[in-house]
Amino acid sequence: MDSYDVVIVGGGPAGYSAGIRGGRLGLKIALIEKESLGGVCLNRGCIPAKALLHLSHYLTELPSLKNRGIEVDIKNIEWERIRAWKNSIVKRLKRGIELLLTRNRVEFIRGEALSLDRGRVIVRVDGEEREIKAKDIILATGSKIKKISNIPYDDPNVYTLNEILETLPQPPSHLLIIGGGVSGIELAQIYSAFGSKVTVVELLPEILSNFPLPAVEILKKRLKKSNVEFFTSSKVKRVKRSEGKLKVSIEKEGSEIEVETDVIFVTSGVEPNLDLIKDRWDVAPPQEVKIIGDMAGGPMLAHKAYYQGVSTVELIAKKRETIPKRLIPSVIYTDPSIAYIGRIPKDKEEGLISGRFPYMALGKAISIDKKEGFVEVFFEPSTKRIVGGYIVGYLAEELISQLTLAIENKMIIDELKEIIYPHPTISEALGEAVKTVLKEAIHI
């Protein structure tokens, strides 16, 4: 019987980061993965989505070059080559993870964990069951699709989140996306840039319901301009196949509307994959069994998974005593992108003071045609501490980390206003937003 310090189930961001860090700390580690290293994020999530968004941003920008004296003619789009390029990125990154695991002496077991108990995991490898012993077990089995009712999942033109970016269907004339969360909206931008008319159906009154509304409104306006229509407070009641099309009945505020589409992407309905521990322990798993990443619920994000992977194995190796609660940034990588962190008040009653600075007033933003968007920061009046902020506009996903750093370090307004930003950069908007609170901004 094989014996380890730690056995990790799941080779996604949570599991593989725990493996690499644990190996570096000198722990004897086995990592079990049943499908593909990199998990959802690398194979059918973050990375393919970002690669395709990158291409779609080019496509939407090219026509505007005409106004600057450069006319570009897009002659042909070869979907097969785009798919092959996306696959090559995934393959390259997967090879990188394999190398890092090997270099850090993590034993990679390609197999499926079937069951577990304190100190042991039963794995099926090449059809054979094997018992693996370990002092500690880290479970990082991610999430799974929770099928919603009224959807004909067996139709070849209906795709779940597990399939969309892995198979990457050719852009159809009309695509209907169920779910207006981050994945749904990123896909709406990708496919509309490649020429599909896109319909988004969202159950809640607004898409991206966790994101700051003023930012969402800017993005929504942009998407509407590129042939994306929205049905919010709406529900898919029926889908029928007829004359080569999918006829979708949408219920909105008591009435029914029928929309005809070629393809449906179902992006809503994801839940933690608790299969391995279902009915296993009455209360919570014992101390030696740790649950991390999407499996642990909370925001299902790769950066949260990485943090939990690394900090959990450090705890096991006694390199730290606790895992403090950290701020987790949220991002959508569309154009414009949106990122937020910390406290974003819904109304004035929360008593925070704020400063907003528009990209329109920024030299760099104007010089590179990225005038849309703004930065808004929030301070607690009594302490003068920064407590939250968001950015909608070019590079929001990069700028947000400066706000995270400031909030985590409890910085106050007088410290933040002293920071010198290089000119001309988009990051100047952060400094100006802070100074706006003090009525000291220069460019507004």
112 near ligand FAD (CB under 6 A): yes
Pairing of strands 373-379, 386-393: antiparallel
Closest approach, Cβ 260 to ligand FAD, in A, equals: 25
110 near ligand FAD (CB under 6 A): no
291 near ligand FAD (CB under 6 A): no
3-state SS of 335-370 is CCCEEEEECCCCCHHHCCEEEEEEHHHCHHHHHCCC
> Dihedral, CA atoms, 355, 359, 362, 364, nearest 10 degrees?
140
Give every CB contact of residue 78 below 8 A, 6+ residues apart in sequence. Answer: none
| Cross-strand bridge partners of residue 199 | 176, 229
294 near ligand FAD (CB under 6 A): yes
130 near ligand FAD (CB under 6 A): no
Structure tokens at 396: 């929001």
Give the span between the Cα atoms of 382 and 413, in whole angstroms.
Answer: 12
Rule CB under 6 A: choose which of 6, 13, 97, 312 binds ligand FAD: 13
Rule CB under 6 A: choose which of 24, 197, 222, 303 binds ligand FAD: 303
CB-based contact 234:258 (threshold 8 Å): no
Closest to ligand FAD by CB, 306 vs 379, is: 306
Subset of 265-284 contacting ligand FAD (CB under 6 A): 273, 276
Closest to ligand FAD by CB, 57 vs 364, is: 57
Rule CB under 6 A: choose which of 106, 134, 207, 301 binds ligand FAD: 301
Rule CB under 6 A: choose which of 6, 14, 132, 310 binds ligand FAD: 14
Pairing of strands 255-261, 128-139: unpaired
Closest approach, Cβ 49 to ligand FAD, in A, equals: 4
Subset of 36-95 contacting ligand FAD (CB under 6 A): 39-41, 45-46, 49
6 near ligand FAD (CB under 6 A): no
Please give the full DSSP string across 79-109, using - where no structure is assigned: HHHHHHHHHHHHHHHHHHHHHHHHHTTEEEE
Backbone phi and psi for residue 322, each to the nearest 5 degrees, phi listed first: -140, 165
Which one of the spans 253-261, 302-310, 355-363, 386-394 is the region binding ligand FAD (CB under 6 A)?
302-310
Rule CB under 6 A: choose which of 6, 7, 12, 426 binds ligand FAD: 12
Backbone phi and psi for residue 230, each to the nearest 5 degrees, phi listed first: -120, 135
Closest approach, Cβ 162 to ligand FAD, in A, equals: 8
223 near ligand FAD (CB under 6 A): no
The verdict on whether omega for the bond into residue 422 sits within 30 degrees of 0, i.e. cis, is no
Please tell me which residue in 54, 174, 303, 423 is annotated as part of the active site.
423
Closest to ligand FAD by CB, 133 vs 410, is: 133
Give the span between the Cα atoms of 124 and 79, in whole angstroms.
Answer: 37
165 near ligand FAD (CB under 6 A): yes
The label of the residue with tokens 């980390």 reads: 401
Rule CB under 6 A: choose which of 30, 32, 116, 151 binds ligand FAD: 32
Subset of 326-345 contacting ligand FAD (CB under 6 A): 333
Which one of the spans 11-19, 214-222, 387-395, 402-410 is the region binding ligand FAD (CB under 6 A)?
11-19
Could you tell me how far CA 71 lies from the centroid of its own chain? 34
Q: How many Cα atoms sit within 13 Å of 84 on the Cβ side?
A: 5
54 included as an active-site residue: no
179 near ligand FAD (CB under 6 A): no
Rule CB under 6 A: choose which of 6, 7, 8, 15 binds ligand FAD: 15
Q: How many Cα atoms sit within 13 Å of 109 on the Cβ side?
A: 24
Report the catalytic residues. Answer: 423
Residue ranges that bind ligand FAD, judged by CB under 6 A = 9-15, 32-35, 39-41, 45-46, 49, 112-113, 140-143, 161, 165, 183, 273, 276, 293-295, 300-303, 305, 333
